[in-house]
């Protein structure tokens, strides 16, 4: 795409904070989310789930369930496509078990009935005979020679000979002379760090309403981050032609990566096909926690060498990630992001993707990055303490900047890490005094962002207003951002733009709202669509004036002659041109489709002050500041919101959130009572500083901002705890029992 007319300042609408267009619906209860739809003749579905972590399924007997009044259909694996390979095979295996249940909560069968209560009762009447098998849920245990084999054929050729079959992928990269680098160091830290699996924790459970006929044509309404993904996955799993399923996205009640895949949608479609009626399927919270994607758990060995002046001389890391019973843990992303913040002459990384008897991991905000950041930024903090270095100065000394070669190969284009560090250093937070038992932590983080397949249309209406049609669900205010960019490009008021989220029948393929791509990629395509429409508007004016189109310019929503030589004509407003478009050549629209790849990464630096109660090990967050590069903040309030939300999810991961499995391999905390996400009273205000180092790959300089913010909090909080309590915790979450045990160990020895 042409970025020759990039614009980075002098904006009229970009950078303002107008009300979001969908605000009214969302504060009045009118907005329709996944579970809010219904259809004539609708049935309700319920899913039978495995109580075992690992078991062979010997028999499924639905006789009693089918005998219950109101039950219309039962489906099992036999009702889905056969012969799938690769990721589709894994996806189907996760959606509904085949020969074995692979984790507690794994779907085995499903029921459709005339009410939700009858469906739930019927699900309890489906008799499944299991042969329990040995299980393993911990990543390190799953790699041991005596670990039970979960799936014998899941590994690919990347895995070296002799490794346990639970190791399913292996990766390695690096450069430079590691030995020489460590020899040059004045201090070396070498430690093992662990993080537990956490869940995205969106408040809206997965929900859908499906209708599929015997003719192979279907309609699906669901809450998703990406309905083209849903369409592709569902049709593959059901053996349908892709275009015959139309997927309409509901409003979405949070996703954070967890709604980029399918869990219940194919089951609802299968039930609908079997019962010949629409089927609504809504997950309970415990189903969400037991059987949708949490993130991976990780175990990591980090070694970093540093000179007395703070220069990093060498670094190595071994990353073991467990992503459930299927390949796909974000090991590569962990490795790419772990050392991304720093220029390191010698670096070497090894990664393992390991399977265990847990639900298939799904993307969670900067998937993989927080774990690696926790390990590396903690290790750097340990070095700063040993060498008595200021943590921001040390980071400035080594910070990645334009031209820095990353550990994984490419050199960075213009990036804003240095600017975030300078802003953090200058922030009053960094100089504020601390009290007893209090500590301050600093950490940086990175997410590479994403572009992805994108298709956007923009049409001018008869009154000169505009509609933008995008394919990326609005998960946090993106309609406002699209409308702002369209308004800016067209030179018309923000209120004159309406942004619609299209169904799969209305646009070409769009990747989900993931990878921090919506404002970047759909925004880029919106601007390009607007520019295309402007070209047509200018042509219409030129025709009217009888001059060349090249002699017409577009300014403030009007066509104007480009100069005195072009002729003397009064400006033609967009409304005037639009009013006549039917007779001047037909509808005026713009369309842009691309897979843009100039997304540029976003770096951030976080500061946290906290207090640890030395008698109970309880941590209280006192002050928090997020500094992050947004490239260009289209709607600053929603950029701040992304920073704040990411920080708080990271705080939860650092302190209290974790998947706890019992000896029996069952999830111990499948409700919000015990899966402890931060509540309002746990937190202070989250200060934000938006740094703007324009992204060369976007017409207005936008960088994705959604994900980076979850990355620094894990180490920042750990580093602050190390100061406040005088103990270094290398295992997240830092629950009060873990902190108190560390304090007692220190006191005792």
Partner 1 sequence: MRYHTAASFEEAVAIAAAAEGVTRFLAGGTDVLVQLRSDVVTPDDLIDIKHIPGVSEIIRADDGGWTIGIAVPGAVMGEHADLCRDWPGVVEGMELIGSTQVQGRATLVGNLCNGSPAADGVPALMTAGATVSVVGPNGSRTVAVQDIPTAPGRISLSKGEMITAVHLPARAEHAGDAYLRFIPRTEMDIAVVGCAVNLRLDGDVIIEASVALGAVAPTARLVPAAAEALIGSTLDDAALSALAEAASAACSPIDDKRGTIAFRTRVAGVLARRAAGIAYDRAKGASA
Partner 2 sequence: MSRIHVTTTVNGDEVEYLCEPRETLLDCLRDHVGLTGAKEGCGTGDCGACSVTLDGRLVCSCLVLGAEAEGKKVETIEGLADGDTLHPLQRKFIEHAALQCGICTPGILIAAKALLEKTPDPTETEVRYWLAGNLCRCTGYDKIIRAVMDAAAEMREAS
Query: Nearest approach, Cβ of 660 to partner 1 (angstroms)?
Result: 5
Contact 323, 353 (CB under 8 A): yes
Whole-number Å distance between alpha carbons of 640 and 630: 10
CB-nearer residue toward partner 1: 120 or 728:
120
* Partner whose binding site includes residue 12, from partner 1, partner 2, none (CB under 5 to 8 Å by kind): none
* Residue 616 binds partner 1 (CB under 8 A): yes
115 interacts with partner 2 by CB under 8 A = yes
Residue by residue, DSSP assigns 346-401 as SEEEEEEEE--SSPPP---SSTTHHHHHHHHHHHHHHHHHHHT--HHHHHHHHB--
Among 160, 685, 748, 749, binds partner 2 (CB under 8 A): 685
- Residue from 165, 176, 216, 254 in contact with partner 2 (CB under 8 A): 254
39 is a site residue for partner 2 (CB under 8 A): no
Q: Counting contacts by CB under 8 A, is residue 679 touching partner 1?
A: yes
Question: ∠ at Cα 216 (214, 218), nearest 5°?
Answer: 100
Other CB atoms within a 10 A radius of the CB of residue 491 amount to: 17
Q: According to CB under 8 A, which residues from 106 to 125 bind partner 1?
A: 124
Q: Indicate whether 741 belongs to the interface with partner 1 (CB under 8 A).
A: yes
Q: Which residues, 162 to 201, sit near partner 2 by CB under 8 A?
A: 200-201
Residues paired with residue 458 on neighbouring β-strands, in sequence order: 468, 590
**Cβ-Cβ contacts under 8 Å for 669 (sequence gap 6 or more):** 289, 659, 660, 675
* Residue 36 is a binding residue for partner 2 (CB under 8 A): yes
Q: How far is CA 261 from the centre of its chain?
A: 11
Report if residue 655 touches partner 1, rule: CB under 8 A.
yes
645 scored as a contact of partner 2 (CB under 8 A): yes
**744 belongs to the binding site for partner 1 (CB under 8 A):** yes
Residue 256 touches which member of partner 1, partner 2, none, C-beta under 5-8 Å by kind: partner 2
* 276 binds, options partner 2, partner 1, none, Cβ within 5 to 8 A by partner type: none
Q: State in angstroms the smallest separation of the CB of 174 from partner 2.
A: 36
484: part of which helix (H) or strand (E)?
A: helix 478-490
Decide: is 734 part of the binding site for partner 2 (CB under 8 A).
no
Quick check: 437 binds partner 1 (CB under 8 A)?
no
Write the DSSP string, 178-235: HHHHHHH-SEEEEEEEEE---B---SS--EEEEEE-TTS-EEEEE--S-HHHHHHHHH
Please identify, using beta-carbon distances, which residue of 482 and 534 lies nearer to partner 2. 482
User: Which among partner 2, partner 1, none contacts residue 28 (Cβ within 5 to 8 A by kind)?
Assistant: partner 2
Q: How far is the CB of 118 from partner 1 (least distance, A)?
A: 14
Strands 207-212 and 279-282: antiparallel
Q: Does 132 bind partner 2 (CB under 8 A)?
A: no
Q: Tell me: does residue 683 bind partner 2 (CB under 8 A).
A: yes
Whose CA is closest to 65, among 108, 9, 23?
108
- Cα 350 versus chain centre, distance: 24
- The verdict on 615 binding partner 1 (CB under 8 A) reads yes
Choose the stretch contacting partner 1; rule: CB under 8 A; options: 246-254, 305-313, 339-347, 612-620.
Answer: 612-620
Q: Among the candidate windows 565-573, 614-622, 705-713, 720-728, which touches partner 1 by CB under 8 A?
A: 614-622
Residue 648 within binding range of partner 2, rule CB under 8 A = yes
CA 649 vs CA 206, 341, 366: distances in Å: 20, 21, 12
C-alpha to C-alpha distance for 459 and 456, rounded to whole angstroms: 10
Is there binding between residue 60 and partner 2 (CB under 8 A)?
A: no
Distance, CA of 621 to CA of 720 (rounded, Å):
10
Beta-carbon contacts of 53 under 8 Å, excluding residues fewer than 6 positions away, are: 101, 103, 104, 135, 137, 357, 661, 664, 665, 666
Contact of residue 36 among partner 1, partner 2, none (CB under 5-8 Å per partner type): partner 2
Least separation in angstroms between CB 669 and partner 1 = 5
Q: Is 441 in the site for partner 2 (CB under 8 A)?
A: no
* 669 touches partner 1 (CB under 8 A): yes
Q: Which is nearer to partner 2, 450 or 675 (CB)?
A: 675
678 binds partner 1 (CB under 8 A): yes
Q: What's the farthest any 2 CA atoms get from each other in the chain?
A: 91
Does the footprint of partner 2 cover residue 124 (CB under 8 A)? no
Site for partner 2 in 443-502 (CB under 8 A): 475-477
Q: Does 286 bind partner 1 (CB under 8 A)?
A: yes
Query: Interhelix angle for 736-748 vs 713-725, to 10°?
Result: 40
Nearest to 262 by CA among 512, 577, 599: 512
Binding status of residue 416 toward partner 2 by CB under 8 A? no
The sign of the CA dihedral 285, 287, 293, 297 is positive
Beta strands in 64-115 (DSSP E): 71-75, 100-101, 107-113
Residues 252/203, Cβ–Cβ less than 8 Å? no
x/- mask, partner 1, residues 708-737, rule CB under 8 A, reads ---------------------------xxx
Binding residues for partner 1, rule CB under 8 A, total: 26
d(CA 182, CA 316): 10
Q: How many CB atoms lie within 10 A of CB 671?
A: 12
Please give the residues from 318 up to 337 whose contact with partner 1 meets the rule CB under 8 A: none
Q: How far is the CB of 204 from partner 1 (least distance, A)?
A: 18
In whole angstroms, give the CA distance from residue 406 to residue 401. Answer: 10
Spatial distance between the Cα atoms of 417 and 374, rounded to a whole number of angstroms: 17
Helices (H), 68-171: 86-95, 116-125, 139-142
**By CB under 8 A, is residue 203 in contact with partner 2?**
yes
Q: Is there binding between residue 681 and partner 1 (CB under 8 A)?
A: yes
Of 16, 158, 192, 284, the residue at the interface with partner 2 (CB under 8 A) is 284
Q: Does position 648 bind partner 1 by CB under 8 A?
A: no
Closer to partner 2 at the Cβ: 391 or 445?
445
Checking DSSP bridges between strand 454-460 and strand 207-212, what pairing results, if any?
unpaired
> Which residue's CB is nearer to partner 1, number 230 or number 283?
283
- 116 lies in the site for partner 2, by CB under 8 A: yes
Q: Which of the choices partner 1, partner 2, none does residue 203 contact, using the CB cut-off of 5 to 8 A by kind?
A: partner 2
Nearer to partner 2 (CB atom), residue 182 or residue 494: 494
Q: Which residues bind partner 1 (CB under 8 A)?
A: 124, 286, 615-618, 655-656, 660, 668-669, 671-674, 676, 678-679, 681-682, 735-737, 740-741, 744
- Give contact residues for partner 2 (rule: CB under 8 A): 17, 19-20, 22-24, 26-33, 35-36, 115-117, 200-205, 251-256, 282, 284-285, 475-477, 635, 637-638, 640-642, 644-649, 671-673, 677-681, 683, 685-686
């Amino acid at each position: 795409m042409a970025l020759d007319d990039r614009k980075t300042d002098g904006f009229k609408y970009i950078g303002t904070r107008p009300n979001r267009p969908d605000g009214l619906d969302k504060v009045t209860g009118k907005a329709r989310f996944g579970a809010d739809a219904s259809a004539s003749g609708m049935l309700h579905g319920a899913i039978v789930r495995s109580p075992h972590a690992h078991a062979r399924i010997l028999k499924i007997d639905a006789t009693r369930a089918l005998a219950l009044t109101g039950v219309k259909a039962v489906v099992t694996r036999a009702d889905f496509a056969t012969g799938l390979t690769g990721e589709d095979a894994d996806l189907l295996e996760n959606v509904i078990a085949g020969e074995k249940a692979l984790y507690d909560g794994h779907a085995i069968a499903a029921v459709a009935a005339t009410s939700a209560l009858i469906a739930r009762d019927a699900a309890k009447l489906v008799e499944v005979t299991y042969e329990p098998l040995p299980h393993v849920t911990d990543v390190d245990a799953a790699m041991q020679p005596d670990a039970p084999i979960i799936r014998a054929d899941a590994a690919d050729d990347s895995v070296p000979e002799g490794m346990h079959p639970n190791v399913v992928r292996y990766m390695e990269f690096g450069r430079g002379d590691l030995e020489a680098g460590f020899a040059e160091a004045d201090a070396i830290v070498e430690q093992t760090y662990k993080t537990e699996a956490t869940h995205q924790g969106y408040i809206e459970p997965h929900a859908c309403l499906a209708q599929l006929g015997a003719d192979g044509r279907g309609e699906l309404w669901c809450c998703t981050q990406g309905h083209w993904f849903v369409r592709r996955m569902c049709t593959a799993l059901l053996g349908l032609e892709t275009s015959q399923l139309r997927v309409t996205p509901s409003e979405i009640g949070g996703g954070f990566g967890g709604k980029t895949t399918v869990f219940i949608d194919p089951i609802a479609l299968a039930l609908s096909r079997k019962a010949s009626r629409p089927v609504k399927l809504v997950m309970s919270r415990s189903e969400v926690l037991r059987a949708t994607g949490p993130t991976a758990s990780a175990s990591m060995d980090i070694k970093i060498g540093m000179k007395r002046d703070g220069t990093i001389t060498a670094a190595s890391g071994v990353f073991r990630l467990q992503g459930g019973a299927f390949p796909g843990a974000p090991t590569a992303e962990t490795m790419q992001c772990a050392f991304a913040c720093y220029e390191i002459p010698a670096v070497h990384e090894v990664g393992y993707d390991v399977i265990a008897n847990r639900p298939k991991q799904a993307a969670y905000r900067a998937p993989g990055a927080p774990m690696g950041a926790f390990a590396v930024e903690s290790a750097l903090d340990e070095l700063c303490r040993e060498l008595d270095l200021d943590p921001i100065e040390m980071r400035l000394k080594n910070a990645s900047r334009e031209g820095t070669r990353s550990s994984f190969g490419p050199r960075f284009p213009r990036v804003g890490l240095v600017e975030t560090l300078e802003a953090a250093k200058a922030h009053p937070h960094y100089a504020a005094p601390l009290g007893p038992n209090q500590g301050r932590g600093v950490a940086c983080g990175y997410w590479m962002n994403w572009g992805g397949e994108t298709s956007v249309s923009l049409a001018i209406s008869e009154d000169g207003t505009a509609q933008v049609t995008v394919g990326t669900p609005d998960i946090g205010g993106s309609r406002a951002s699209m409308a702002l960019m369209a308004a800016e490009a067209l030179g018309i008021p923000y209120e004159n733009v309406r942004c619609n989220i299209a169904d799969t029948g209305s646009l070409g393929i769009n990747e989900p709202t993931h990878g921090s791509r919506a404002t970047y990629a759909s925004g880029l395509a919106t601007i390009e669509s607007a520019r295309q429409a402007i070209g047509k508007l200018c042509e219409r004016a030129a025709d009217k004036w009888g001059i060349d189109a090249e002699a017409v310019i577009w300014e403030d929503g009007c066509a104007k002659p480009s100069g005195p030589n072009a002729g003397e004509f009064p400006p033609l407003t967009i409304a005037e041109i639009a009013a006549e478009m039917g007779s001047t050549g037909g509808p005026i629209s713009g369309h842009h489709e691309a897979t843009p790849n100039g997304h540029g990464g976003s770096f951030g630096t976080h500061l946290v002050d906290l207090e640890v109660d030395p008698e109970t090990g309880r941590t209280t967050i006192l002050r928090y500041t997020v500094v992050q590069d947004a490239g260009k903040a289209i709607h600053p309030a929603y950029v701040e919101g992304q920073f704040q939300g990411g920080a708080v999810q990271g705080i939860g991961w650092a302190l209290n959130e974790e998947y706890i499995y019992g000896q029996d391999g069952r999830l111990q905390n499948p409700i919000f009572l015990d899966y402890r996400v931060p509540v309002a009273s746990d937190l202070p205000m989250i200060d934000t500083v938006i740094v703007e180092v324009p992204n060369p790959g976007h017409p207005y300089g936008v960088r994705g901002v959604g994900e980076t913010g979850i990355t620094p909090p894990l180490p920042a909080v750990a580093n602050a705890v190390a100061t406040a309590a005088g103990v270094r915790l290398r295992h997240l979450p830092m629950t009060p029992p873990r902190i108190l045990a560390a304090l007692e160990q220190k006191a005792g020895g």
